Amino acid sequence: MVSPASVLRQPRTGRPVWKAPNPGSSQEWLRHLSPVHAEEIAQALRAVHASGIPLLKVTATHFPLPTLARELRHIADTLENGPGFALIKGLPVERCSEAAASLVFWGMCQHLGTPVSQNAAGHVLGHVRDTGRTMGDPAVRGYQTREALPFHTGGSDVLGLMCLRAARSGGRISVASSGAVYNEVLARRPDLVELLYRTYFLDRRQEQAPGEEPYYALPLACWYDGKLSMRYNRRFLESAQRFPGVPRLESADTELFDLMDEIADSSEFRCDVDFTEGDVLLINNHTVLHSRTDYEDFAEPDRKRHLLRLWLTLREGRRLPAEFWGDMHGNTRGAGRGGIAPRDVVAEHVDHRSKRKWGR
């Protein structure tokens, strides 16, 4: 929704607007699991294994976390009304199977929201690892490569990542407040701010459904219900230019993108996250931009960088206008908004037969 110019020219304020190195109180976004939390997770794992419920059908009810659930509700508020990201440390993934770690990640996130499809295959629990492909392939997305990923946002309310194995070197994840970036663009180039509210076209990376265009149209920002929401993926904006039906980007657009990239990656605005094995990182895509440096993997396959990934619709997420999502499926608060409409819903294979216990 395009707002009057008088509103667009006002700097954003509040907890979601922060600068590095201290994005609000560290106690607000950094959480450490306690021994009590770890035991609750172990008990929930045992209960799910005993019931035989497949991972993708596990709900918060199936994965009870009496005290950790309260902590997760505080984290949900941090995501929506605070700095917009949270780092949970202390999951001993090195002592459990991939299947158990997947179930823990899924079960914890069920207390935050509803997973949505991350690709046209309908995968809701994704794997971030180098497949040997590059972004030069129009069918590839960044999580399938080891290339550097400039500051961008994902296609859901919240991005969730769990680190199973870190890279040999590189792969640093950084975050920046999109509200703070917005304010700095306003301060330096107020003439560019209104461009964020116009319609842009992004590449679907060959994940369109039959009959759909290979690109979609939507604004990069909206001011709605008292909140600023932004999205940004320069690579997809620029690769959409290969389609004859997409209007050409203008010099002012390039100036805007250059300025946003410069601001987000500066030491004044960028917060580098200490994301290591056993950590869970949660990012509100509407209020936080994130990036990743390129990385070098170990030679051994079982030591290569490996993250689990979820796209979530927050249970108590913000209201958004329909045009903010363009023709992506879902545009209201609640289950299903955001994500990529699957051609045919197919659950990514996870071995649920493993009975290895958490921490064993």
pLDDT score of 24: 64
Residue 160 sits at φ, ψ, to 5 deg, of: -115, 130
Q: Tell me the pLDDT tens digit for each residue of 223-260.
A: 999 999 999 999 999 999 999 999 999 999 999 999 99
Q: Tell whether the model's pLDDT for residue 9 goes beyond 50.
A: yes
Locate the domains of the chain by residue range.
25-325
For range 304-320, the mean pLDDT: 95
Beta pairing class for 85-89 and 30-32: parallel
Give the fold, CATH level 3, of 25-325.
Answer: Double-stranded beta-helix (3.60.130)
Q: Are strands 158-165 and 306-314 parallel, antiparallel or unpaired?
A: antiparallel
pLDDT for residue 350: 41
> CB–CB of 80/314 below 8 Å?
yes
Model pLDDT, residue 353: 37
pLDDT at 21: 74
> What pLDDT, in 10s, does the model give residues 85-100?
999 999 988 888 999 9
Is this prediction's pTM over 0.85? yes
Tens of pLDDT, residues 173-214: 999 999 999 999 999 999 999 999 999 999 999 999 888 899
Q: Return d(Cα 153, Cα 285) in angstroms, integer.
A: 5
Phi, psi values for residue 311, rounded to 5°: -105, 130
Say what the pLDDT of residue 333 is: 44
Q: Give the span between the Cα atoms of 320 and 94, in whole angstroms.
A: 40
Task: Note the pLDDT tens digit of each residue in 50-80.
Answer: 999 999 999 999 999 999 999 999 999 999 9
**Cβ atoms 33, 90 nearer than 8 A:** yes
Please report which confidence band the pLDDT of residue 344 belongs to, taking 50, 70 and 90 as the band edges. Answer: low
Residue range 170-174: average pLDDT? Answer: 97
Residues shown for the chain: 360
Higher pLDDT, 325 or 161: 161
Q: What does each C-alpha distance from 258 to 8, 38, 111, 234 come to in angstroms? A: 20, 44, 38, 9
